[in-house]
Structure 1
Amino acid sequence: MMLPKHLAIPAAAALLTITAAGTAEAGSGCTQRAIEPTELRQAFNMAARTRDYLEQSGAEVALVARVGADLSEHGLRYTHMGAVLRNHPAGRWMFVHLLNECGADTSGIYDEGLVNFYLDDLFAFEGVVLIPKPELQHRLTAILSGPRATQLHHPVYSMIARPTATKYQNSNQWLLETIAMAQAPEGAVHTRAQAQQYFAAHGYRADTVRIGDFQRLGAAFTRANVRFDDHSSDESGNRRYEVASVRSVARYLETTGSLTTAVVLGPEGPPKPAVKY
């Protein structure tokens, strides 16, 4: 599968001081920074806990989200979600997800290991694991293991892309559209618009975030990866914008009866039932 590769971290790197160049990440601007040993240990710990849980689950694919930033003011916990495959062509338990290209207005679909997923300057080392029903797992595996992984990718990125518009795309929106393609009858979804029509017709509800005038002005002038012009005039007037959040994707899976298990993995202790996204 011809997907770009994210920064590779070998196991031996735990003994080294690493500089993360940051070729891509889930929405924020990229800066070169030294990865502290504590951060590296925490990432390896979370990767190991995630791997162990997935191995025991018997799943062939799961959806995993991380806490990249503090979104508590919006009532949200998790920021970015990817699909992780047991038997990916690039290796066991590899993520397939959309990442923003260093704060620019472009993105790519990346396959990436478990450690890398938790090495993105996270707000908290915690993950939520969603395991879909077996039929959906099977169809997602077929899509994400081959060229169809990029079929619904649109490289023009906005962090707050409107879920039912096709001008931009963000990471959770790409995954939501891919889930819809997997849920729909075979061959029914070929385009982003068709995927959006499908999930809208099957009960998807976006979350909304409030962005005030000052925040919007700052974002518009300083960040290439935040755009507002795909949102409606009502959203702009109310300063409340629809987004494809991790919570909205989880809620959609629940609404469509496609979810079997949802657990939170922290740095220690047993997995806990997920009650907040």
Structure 2
Amino acid sequence: MSWVFLRRLALTGFVVICTFAARVADAAPASSQLCDRVTPLDASQQDRVLRFAAVLQEALSQTGSDTVLISRSGLDLSRFRIRYSHAAIAWKGAGGTWLARQLYYACDEGHPRLYDQGLAGFVMGIDDPALGYVSVVTLPPDAALALRNTVLDAPRALHLLAARYSANAYPFSLRYQNCNQWVMESLAVAWGKLPDGDDLRERAQQWLRDAPYRPEPVDVGSHALVFASNFVPLLHLDDHPVDDIYALKLRVSLPSTVEAFAREQQRAGTERIELCHDGGQVVVHRGWEPVPAGCRPAASDRIVLLD
């Protein structure tokens, strides 16, 4: 089995569960192709993505909320039946500008970092310029305020940041962390009213266990991917229970598990908006039922033409 095959396998698997914000943060070249967009956006594609971001900005402004959960699609993970790869926490700042705080892996530094990004940069992290999805979950006012206070509290936010990154991090281990797990632990601190401290991650994970947080296992479906973890950076198995590894079903925090947990914990006040574009139009869909593959609108959906 060649290194090229293993690397390609990983790139189409768990290594892209968190699409790295670093690759669109600025124009500086990254040290690894794991952080680079394979094909740069041309002027027409950039224009469409920016117009998509403008529709997203409008939709967020109409929610009446100032703090939401937000997720975007990344590379094609349909083999795992996964649409969304990267979750963040977005809030409305001064002048109505929205920012998304997220964990990303800084390839040049070799460490995970927290990064604040505008909506345009956030949606440019979608790998396919011709088809992209964004999901937004609004929260009850008290839950949203608690989350806002947590994510903007720099010491607590940083205490929740692990020293080591793994794209397929196990949710109940302190060894690694992925972007979606940082969001989950932020929810635990916010809604569990957990005070700051060096053991904050440990207490957050315990709160999630007790909640309970039970992410659905992802069917890896291939021993080759398990074997690849021995060779591919950012893909690890030494934090997962042995039984899960043998069963080829890994429990990982994903945007879908973040949203499901929020819906369960705040069931009386959560709402979901899904936006997608197919290069020619934007579909704005409200409700927990996902937009069909290919960004096909329902009769009740709002459509904004990009052409």
Give, as a single letter, the amino acid of the residue that structure 1 aligns with 2:274: V
Q: Report the Cα offset of residue 71 of structure 1.
A: 2.2
Q: Report the Cα offset of residue 70 of structure 1.
A: 2.0
Q: Secondary structure at the match of 2:71?
A: strand
Which of 61, 67, 70 is 1:64 aligned to?
A: 70
1:49-79, CA deviations, whole angstroms, 9 ceiling, x for partnerless residues? 1110111111111111111022222222111
1:63-118, CA deviations, whole angstroms, 9 ceiling, x for partnerless residues? 111110222222221111111110269x8211100012239862100011111111
Give, as a single letter, the amino acid of the residue that structure 1 aligns with 2:78: S
Contact 2:92 2:98 in 1 (8 A): yes
Contact 2:273 2:285 in 1 (8 A): yes
Q: What CA distance in whole angstroms lies between the structure 2 residues aligned with 1:192 and 1:155?
A: 11
Matches within 5 A, 1:251-266: 251-257=260-266, 259-266=269-276
- Aligned-residue RMSD, C-alpha: 2.8
Does residue 172 of structure 1 match 2:180? yes
Give, as a single letter, the amino acid of the residue that structure 1 aligns with 2:88: G
Question: TM-score, normalized by length of structure 1?
Answer: 0.84
- Residue segments in structure 2 that go unaligned for 5+ positions in a row: 1-20, 292-307
Which of 82, 106, 116 is 1:76 aligned to?
A: 82
Which of 35, 46, 58 is 1:52 aligned to?
A: 58
Q: What CA distance in whole angstroms lies between the structure 1 residues aligned with 2:86 and 2:46?
A: 19
Contact 2:74 2:85 in 1 (8 A): yes
Contact 2:168 2:178 in 1 (8 A): yes
Q: Report the Cα offset of residue 121 of structure 1.
A: 4.7
Give, as a single letter, the amino acid of the residue that structure 2 aligns with 1:66: R
Q: Secondary structure at the match of 1:206?
A: coil
Q: Which has the higher mean CA deviation after the structures are superposed, 173-182 or 191-200?
A: 191-200
**Cα gap change, 1:120 to 1:23, in 2 (>3 Å):** farther
Q: Which has the higher mean CA deviation after the structures are superposed, 105-114 or 205-214?
A: 205-214
Which of 97, 104, 123 is 2:102 aligned to?
A: 97
Contact 1:65 1:81 in 2 (8 A): yes
Q: How many aligned positions are there?
A: 260
Q: What CA distance in whole angstroms lies between the structure 1 residues aligned with 2:78 and 2:117?
A: 27
Q: What CA distance in whole angstroms lies between the structure 1 residues aligned with 2:179 and 2:138?
A: 18
Q: What CA distance in whole angstroms lies between the structure 2 residues aligned with 1:196 and 1:88?
A: 32
In structure 2, the residue matched to 1:194 is 203
Contact 1:107 1:157 in 2 (8 A): yes
Does residue 230 of structure 1 match 2:235? no
**Cα gap change, 1:115 to 1:23, in 2 (>3 Å):** farther
Give, as a single letter, the amino acid of the residue that structure 1 aligns with 2:265: T
Contact 1:154 1:168 in 2 (8 A): yes
Q: Report the Cα offset of residue 22 of structure 1.
A: 5.1
Does residue 125 of structure 1 match 2:139? no
Does residue 274 of structure 1 match 2:283? no
Contact 1:210 1:239 in 2 (8 A): yes
Give, as a single letter, the amino acid of the residue that structure 2 aligns with 1:154: A
Q: Which has the higher mean CA deviation after the structures are superposed, 121-130 or 53-62?
A: 121-130
Contact 1:159 1:226 in 2 (8 A): yes
Which of 231, 241, 255 is 2:250 aligned to?
A: 241
Q: Report the Cα offset of residue 177 of structure 1.
A: 0.3
**Cα gap change, 1:121 to 1:183, in 2 (>3 Å):** closer
Does residue 209 of structure 1 match 2:205? no
Give, as a single letter, the amino acid of the residue that structure 2 aligns with 1:59: S
Does residue 152 of structure 1 match 2:166? no
1:218-264, CA deviations, whole angstroms, 9 ceiling, x for partnerless residues? 3431x211111000110111121110011111111111125521111
Q: What CA distance in whole angstroms lies between the structure 2 residues aligned with 1:54 and 1:240?
A: 35
